[in-house]
Structure 1
Amino acid sequence: MEEQFSTLYNVPRLIATESMSSWITRLALSQGTSMTTILRYLEISKTDDVDRIIGRQKIKHISKKSGMPIGDFKGIRTIFKSLISIDPSGRNFLLFSDKKSRYRFCPVCLKKDDVPYFRVEWRFNVWRSCPDHRCLLEDECNNCKHPVTLPTDMLRGGLKCSGIGTLAMCANCGEWITKVKPAYHDFSDSQSLDTEDTLLIQNGKAFLSALYFEFFNIDGFKKTYITKDLLRLHKKNIFPWNNFKWTAKLWRGEIS
């Protein structure tokens, strides 16, 4: 007999470009429960990388338990299946804070969102700039200097574990992570991105496109590559992503 699962109510829809960690964080809050409880319900280990798991785990039971259509997971599943095929640990391309999944973020996106959420591309080290707002991504909360890690327990987040109501708030200190001057790089009279910086930003976008479409071109090169070439080219330093010299704080002149 097929096992019957209980139905959750008020489940938030996975937004088209949302990461799995972001959605599960919002899901736990919508159910008024802890992250430990929701992960156990979805049969995900607390030690798993919640973003990468979508690329290697059958999602039928996640869909059934949450009531979310399987098709809603297609985009992020495709990206992480491709990533795992070339980099099973994710350590070559993903952001981490110790063993936790770390994110950069665009404060303008989060401020304008009707429902603030973290984009899947913000998890990738190669994604440095918001293409919509032409600003460098932030690396940490401007108030407490704590990195953003997901999934997080919003019910116990913030100052004195009093909880946070939105992902636009810092789970560590409870302040708005959107309260920072955006590092717009297209509207500066005093400095500008050089050719290498611009190419690295463009190739970071091409990298995500390659994971989704399974082929890509590199700006400055004529050849078309397939996904399995990514790690080989990365190790040959064809994409010198670590040469990108700017952070949002450095752009604003907050550090020298």
Structure 2
Amino acid sequence: MLLPVHPQPFQGELLSSWMVRLAFSNVFALHTFYFSLLGYRAPIWNRDIDRHPPFTLLKILQNYTQQTPLAIQSLTLEYYEGILFEALPIFGDTAWLLPAGIYHRTRRRAGIQFCPLCLKNDIEPYYRRVWRLAFCTVCREHCWAAAKTECNT
């Protein structure tokens, strides 16, 4: 079964961002959307869903959006396996990744950076996978644009 509204994931979007856009575009609250409409009964938001999402959740998303497993998997932080680290551990801190520090739905660490100008200028705002990387501290697009403007004045 296909959802009435199923926005396509953007290039480099985080899984959690796309999941929120799916729920909100279908005019549902997050918990209601996944628990009642899609029938996913396990907890979602009490863990770092971008790190290691459950296979059953990925399968449900695939069935309701007709995205390929590879397309959905590429939205996770596992995308960086073999690039930044050999394997993404299930638990604990990982070099180069900002930790979410989730404990019983409480986020004890920031976990993500973002560019307010990107979010403001997006036709449909979304969070980028690269914003979870600890060494990406500036936006390539807006930081360089601001530097050029400042140097030319």
What TM-score comes out, normalization by structure 1 length?
0.44
**How many residues are aligned here?**
136
How far off its partner does 1:114 sit? 1.4
- Structure 1's unaligned 5+ residue stretches are 1-5, 136-181, 190-256
Deviation digits for residues 114-168 of structure 1 (CA, Å, limit 9, x no counterpart): 1111101112222211122226xxxxxxxxxxxxxxxxxxxxxxxxxxxxxxxxx
Specify the code of the residue in structure 2 equivalent to 1:96.
A
In 2, Cα distance between the equivalents of 1:42 and 1:123? 29
In the alignment, what sits opposite 1:79? 79
- Give the letter for the 1:122 counterpart: W
CA contact (8 A) 2:81 2:88 kept: no
Equivalent residue, structure 1, for 2:63:
64
User: 1 CA distance for matches of 2:55 and 2:80?
Assistant: 11
Aligned counterparts of 2:8 and 2:59: Cα–Cα separation in 1: 16
Compute the displacement of 1:50 (Å).
1.4
Question: CA shift at 1:80, angstroms?
Answer: 5.8
Map 1:1-256 to 2 at 5 A: 6-40=1-35, 41=38, 43=40, 44-46=42-44, 47-54=46-53, 57=55, 59-77=58-76, 78-79=78-79, 85-89=87-91, 91-92=93-94, 93-96=97-100, 99=103, 100=107, 102-134=111-143, 184=146
With 44-53 and 65-74 compared, the bigger mean Cα shift is at: 65-74
Q: Distance in 2 between matches of 1:96 and 1:72?
A: 23
Q: Give the structure with the higher percent strand.
A: 1
- 1:52 Cα offset (Å): 1.2
Residue 38 of structure 1 deviates from its aligned partner by 2.8
Aligned residue type for 1:57: F
RMSD: 3.1
TM-score by length of structure 2 reads: 0.69
Given that residues 39 and 45 in structure 1 are in contact (C-alpha distance below 8 angstroms), is that contact kept between their aligned partners in structure 2? no
Cα 1:79–1:128 shift into 2, 3 Å = same
